[in-house]
Structure formats: C-alpha cells, structure tokens
Amino acid sequence: MTTSNGATTSQHLGVTPPIATSESNPREKEVTSTLLEELKRQGTFESEDESKTREIVLGRIAALVKKFVHTVALREGLSDAAATAAGGKIFTFGSYRLGVHGPGSDIDTLCVVPKHVSREDFFDVFEHMLKDAEGVAEVSGVPDAYVPIIKIKMSGIPIDLVMARLALSTIPDDLSLQDDNLLRNLDDRCVRSLNGSRVTDEILRLVPNVSVFRDSLRCIKLWAQRRAIYSNVNGFLGGVAWAMLVARICQLYPNAVAGAIVSRFFIIMYQWAWPQPVLLKQIEDGPLPVRVWNPKLYPADRAHRMPIITPAYPSMCATHNVTQSTQMIMTEEFKKASEIVDKVIINKASWSDLFAKHDFFHKYRYYLQVIASTGSPELQVKWSGTVESRVRQLVMKLEYVESLALAHPFIKGFEQVSYCINDEEVRSVAQGEVSEAVARRKKEDIEGVEGASAVYSTTFYIGLAVEPKQPGAVGPRRLDISYPTTEFTKLVKMWEKFDEQKMGIVVRHIKSSALPEYVFDDGERQPRLAQKRPKKETTDRSSNTSPDMPNKKPRHSLPKMSTVTLPHETVKVSENGDTLPHHGVTSSVERPATNGLYANNTKDSAEIKSPHLPLGENVAIATATGAP
C-alpha cells in the first residue's frame, strides 16, 4: 500500500498480498481516459440536475422517517420531547452508496428506527404517510418479501425502502452501523435489512482507491448488463457480487488505474480456481447465534460453484444461485472480454466493442418459453415474480438432461397486456399464441364488450444448447425435457398463494425462427432461414408446449433418455385456470451442430488459448491463502 507521501508499506488490504504494487504504465493511463469518455457516451452518468433531485428526495425521506418515528412514539404514550429524541435515520446502500448509479436507477434506502417502532408500523403508518406525501407515486409495500420492502417514486426518482428496528430507545443522527453488537436481539428480517448497508460500507472501506474502484465498477457493471449476465435471481451475479469482484482486483493492484483494473479483472476471473471463494477479508465470528458461510461445516456451502463472500458479519455467499450453465456462460464471457480489452490496450479495438449487446436471441436454435399469466396487473406482479424466482430450478433440472450441453436463462421477462374478446383468445394468449388481431387491439376496443377481458402475461426465455452429434450417428435425435418441465410446473404451483382459478403457467419450446418481435430491438431481426420451409410448420405451433398438468400422466409412455418427448399438444391455461385435456405426442427435434460458444467443453484444454496476465504477474497469488 502506498502512503500519502509515496512510501510503500508492507500493509495490504485483502486476504493475500497484492499481485503488483507498481503504478500503471502510460498506455494504461491513456486507455483509462478513453474508457471514461466511452462510459459518458454510453450514458452511465446522471446529469447534475438529477443528482441534485436525488439529494433533495433523500432529505425529504429522512424527514419523513423522523416524522414517522415521532408519530408512533406519541401513539405509544411517549412525551413529545421523548418522541422527538427517538430520532430515526436513513442509510443508502447498493449502487447509489457505491457511487456507480446511472440515470433513472433506484436508490436503495434503509430506514433505521428505535425499538418502539414495529414492522407493522412501517407498512401501516409509514406507507400511508408516503402515499400522502407530495410528489410521491406508485407506492407499493411488499411485507411478505424475504427482505420486506416499500417501493415508491418521489419526484420521479425510484426508491426501495427497507426497515431495521434496533434494540435502542433512540436513533442518534451520528449512528454508525459498523458495530456488530447492533445486531443483537434483532429478528432475521432486520439483520437482512441491515446487511445491505453494512456490506456496501465495508466494500468501500476495503478498496485502496475508491475513485478507481468506482470507475472500474461502472465499466464492469455496464458490460455485464449488455452481455445479459447481470441478474442474481436468474443464476448470474447481482450488483453486490460484481462490486465485490471488482473490489478484489483493486486489492490485488492497489496502485493501478481503472483501465488496468478492468484488463486484469477479466483475465483473473477467467482463470479463478473456483470454488475457491472470493474474499475481501477473513471471515469473522460475531455476537449472534447465526450461520456464517463455512463450507467445512455446511454441505450446502460446499455446493456453491462461484462463492463470493460478503465482508460484513454475518458473512454470506452472495452467489448461491449460480448454476453449472450460468457459470459456463460467465466464464466464456470473461474470456471474450479479456480478448477485446487486450485489443483495446494495443489500439486494435475500442471500448465500445466491449459493450456490444448480447446475442442471446441469435445464439440458439431452440428456446423454452415460460409464460406466467393472470387477469390482474397487481396479481401479475406477484405471480410473475414467483415464477421468475423459480426459473433457476428449471435450469438446474435441465442440466441433468442427457445431451443437453447447457440451459441459458435470459435475465428478464417480457411483459404483455393482451385484450381478448372471448375465452378462446384468452386460452391462446395464456399459451403464448397472440394473434395479430389481439396484438393490434387496444383497451378501448374491448370496453363494453361482453365476455371481453385483459390478460397480463410475462414470458421468460431459456436457450437450449445441444451437444454436438456424435460421429457415425444417423437420423434425427430427440431430447426429453418432459420431466424437468413437469416438475417445474409442480414447483411453481406449490406457492402458498397459488390460485388455479386466477393464475396460468405454461412451458413450451419454440424454434429461433418463431421468436416474437418484442424480444428484438428496433431494426434488429433474427435470421429467418427456417422460414424457407413449407408453411405446414406453422399449422402445429401449439405442438411446442409442454404440460401444465403435472398430475396427469401422458397417454404415451416416456421414451428412453436417448429420445426426446416434446408434447405435441399441451394444456392450455385459461384466465380462470381451467384446463383442456392434454394429449402427449412425441415430436422429433433435429439437433443442429453447435458451432461456437459452448462446444469447446469437449476440446482438449491444451488446444484452448487462455488469456494471461502480463509477464511477472501471477494469478496464483490471489488464491494462495485465505480460503476457509
């Protein structure tokens, strides 16, 4: 570590010594300048006006929290003086606290209150205060969430509010959350709510240069979003995990500029010896009888494929959702990115190449659609969120299917509202078939029409990468995905609030040529080679769905695992949950040769060129010690 007067000390941040402590060379400083220019061109920085609006909004939230605590205190019988002294304070966390938020991004905000304020008060009293506040819109409380939350927009700024109730009579304005003893006598939800703020603050304390960290993280965050690998719920990495990875590279190169950090980031992450954990500091014990990440003690922790461990007590794995498929996808993206940055360094490419849009909807020949539908916008938010949180389970089940090399989940669902005039249209929409007539219809077109209704649907996509055809194999091959899809529908229907009469769930496979227009940007179009085939292809589109009746067995026995069952006609789910009889018919699917991305799993490792650090730098230093 370099001190203010330029002297180098033996102290260092992190669980290992740095890989290099030298300053970056002139070329690395030059590409850092061009990186920051590109990040500005890409619109990752907000305007001064928006920044000022955020500060004003946070000031208003802080005042509202104090008013909320004061109101509840008076109701509990405290004097006015005591109610005023009870205080209340907000802490920001996430991208805003880290200093890497962009235009329109939300502000994660923790409301810390004294012991006389309950969580029920948060949703009964504070939520109503927010609704009555000037300039506040879209107030939505989710008290049953894993981390209970109130989502609002104030002056156009989206804010996610969580609450922690400390075992203190008053919350002073100078309160710090760094003391582990503050976690004593708190329920699990309060500990989880506090954890977001404590982790963010700890990350900032553990990087050698906050400015370099922020510039580097902005780059990595934009890259991960553009490459569609920024999503914790879908098995990739969320914002905190990406921040911890960048922080670790900053620790390993304490005197490097952002361009050098980004370059080393991709190389080291590609070469990282998973499941060796990424740690920003040694895991510590604390005052609570709570579980701390420990693979020696807990089998579930040993199963984590890419463990990235939070630095604040109690330490947890931020990446427990990563699957075999998503790990493969991220590893390949690390490799691609490292090659691009290498070219940037030698002036053979530009930073804009790093931020090129993903090719998810061009990459595979076959996709699964997971369609969640209801007849109400409020219900759809909860139902689609429940389905999305379980898509990862479907991916993990698909990974066990013979001959399926990889199941690639897309990071977001596509929402649609379809206005239907009869039950037949409702059933078709819930099944994923939206006719041109329905697609053109507007809300006013069905007003006053008897039997008309709106269907709210969210469609999630999984790309299917099939292993290459074995030498000597003849004829079409088949892929049996009936078991994973049937088990998945069972799983989502086990949600305690599932209502067969109001919620629909359909899983079906489609060819890339049948992907809907809404998955593409304007002017972007998928290859239409399959359209040259005879039109009869379109007459049995409903054959591409898989069962929505997990308890009803197909009339045909399942073939061996070397063949594929893709049910020819699936259950159609109507708005009210009624189902039609299911007829299971085998449908052969010809597998294309995999020409690219993940075929390299079968290559000899010696044939694959890996990115390397500059001469004299050794990635093994980063993983030499510090593992639990």
Residues 6+ apart with CB under 8 A from 162: 108, 109, 110, 111, 147, 148, 149, 150, 193, 196
Is residue 480 among the annotated active site residues?
A: no
CA distances from 374 to 370, 381, 382, 492, 538 (A): 14, 9, 10, 14, 26
Kindly report each contact of residues 512-520 with a partner whose C-beta sits within 8 Å and lies 24 or more positions away, as own/partner.
512/361, 512/362, 512/364, 512/365, 512/366, 512/367, 514/541, 514/544, 515/361, 515/367, 516/434, 518/414, 518/416, 519/361, 519/414, 519/461, 520/361
- Binding residues for Mg(2+) are 106, 108, 160
Count Cα atoms within 13 angstroms, Cβ side, for 54: 21
Contact at 8 Å (CB) between 301 and 373? Answer: no
Q: Which of 160, 201, 480, 548 is catalytic?
A: 160
- How many whole angstroms separate alpha carbon 206 and alpha carbon 12? 10
Judge whether 542 and 433 are in contact, CB under 8 Å.
Answer: yes
How many whole angstroms separate alpha carbon 255 and alpha carbon 22? 6
Q: Which of 361, 358, 465, 366 is nearest to 407 (CA)?
A: 465
Residues making up the annotated binding site for ATP are 93-95, 106-108, 160, 221, 230, 239-240
Q: Which of 267, 250, 350, 338 is nearest to 30 (CA)?
A: 350
Name the active-site residue from 95, 193, 418, 428.
95
Residue 614 identity: P
Q: Which pair of tokens denotes residue 503?
A: 């919620």
Q: Can you read off the two tokens belonging to residue 153?
A: 């927009």
Which of 108, 121, 201, 301 is catalytic? The answer is 108
Which tokens is 213 given? 């960290």
Q: Which of 352, 361, 333, 356 is nearest to 524 (CA)?
A: 361
Locate the DSSP E strands across 49-148: 89-93, 107-113, 136-142
**DSSP conformation class of 619:** G
For the chain, give percent helix, strand, coil, nearest 5.
40, 15, 45
Contact 515, 361 (CB under 8 A): yes
Residues near 268 by beta carbon (within 8 Å), at least 6 away in sequence: 249, 252, 613, 619, 622
160 among known catalytic residues: yes
User: Is residue 149 within 8 Å of residue 164, measured between CB atoms?
Assistant: no
Is residue 221 annotated as a catalytic residue, yes or no?
yes
* Residue 414, H or E segment: strand 414-420
- Which of 106, 180, 342, 578 is catalytic? The answer is 106
Respond yes or no: is residue 188 known to be catalytic.
no
Residue list for the binding site: 93-95, 106-108, 160, 221, 230, 239-240
Cα radius of gyration (the chain): 27
Which are the catalytic amino acids?
95, 106, 108, 160, 221, 230
